[in-house]
Amino acid sequence: MTPHISAKKEEIAKTVLMPGDPLRAKKIAETYLENVKLVNEVRNMFMYTGTYKGIEVTIAGSGMGCPSIGIYSYELFNFYDVENIIRIGSAGSYKKEIKVYDVYNVKEAYGDSNYAKLAANIDDKVIKAGTKLYSLIEKIAEEKNIKTLTGRAHSADVFYRHDDITEFVKENNLDVVEMESVALFANAIRAKKQAACLLTISDNLVTKEVTTAEERQNNFMQMVEIALEVAVK
C-alpha cells in the first residue's frame, strides 16, 4: 500500500498500461483481460489486474497532468516493482499532416514544467522514452500493420493557454501536445525502468478537426491492442 494506491504488492503486474481516464482503464480491462480484478479505487483512480494471452497485465488510470501521473508512476515503479509503464492517451496535433486518429509513438517529450529537474535531477527540457519499449512498440505496430508516427511531443502544463504558441512549436520542433509523458519518462529514468507513451490524435489545433467521444472510443482500441501485445512480449 502507498498513500495513493491500496493494492497489495502482488496485485500489480510487472507491466502497466496507463490511460488518463480511470473509466477508460475499466473499459479496456473489461474488454481485453481475463480474470479481471479491481485492485485500486482510492480517489476513484481505478486500477485493474488481469491476464492477456495468459500473462498478467495491470491497466491503471493516471489522471491528467504531470503531478498526477508523476505520483502514480513513481509509486508503481518504486513501491510495486513495476518494470514497464506504457501511457496510452490522447493528444492534440500541431501539424496539418498529423491527423485525428493517427497513432503517435512518443520518442521524446518536451516538458513545460521543471518536473524532470525536481523529480529526477535532470536538467534537460527534453526527456526520451525508454528505448527498449519504444522500439518494441514500433515493431509490434509494424507486425499489426498499424502505421505509427513518431517524434517529439509537447508535455504541456496548460490546456487553456492565453497566447499563440506557433513560434514556440516551431522553435522546439513539437509535433503533438499532451500533458503527462515527460513526468512518466523522468520517473522511469530515475528508477532505471522503462516507460513509453502511445497517443491517438483526438484534435488538430491547425485544422480544428475534432473527434466525437464515440469515435474516439473505437479508434483508441488500435493503440490499446499494440500496447497489450507489447505488454505480453
Q: Could you say which of 21, 112, 157, 203 is catalytic?
A: 203
Contact between 179 and ligand ADE per CB under 6 A: yes
How far apart CA 23 and CA 17 sit, in angstroms, is 13
Which residues fall within 8 angstroms of residue 170, CB to CB, at 6 or more apart?
none
- Tell me the per-residue interface mask from 88 to 117 with ligand ADE, x by CB under 6 A, - otherwise: --xxx-------------------------
The reply to whether 156 sits near ligand ADE by the rule CB under 6 A is yes
CB of 222 to ligand ADE, least distance (A): 17
Q: 138, 182 in Cβ contact below 8 A?
A: no
183 binds ligand ADE (CB under 6 A): no
- Interhelix angle 131-143/213-231, nearest 10 degrees: 110
> Would you count residue 58 as binding ligand ADE (CB under 6 A)?
no
Among 75, 102, 175, 178, interactor with ligand ADE by CB under 6 A = 178
Considering the rule CB under 6 A, would residue 203 count as an interface residue with ligand ADE?
Answer: yes
Pick from 18, 177, 186, 223: which binds ligand ADE (CB under 6 A)?
177
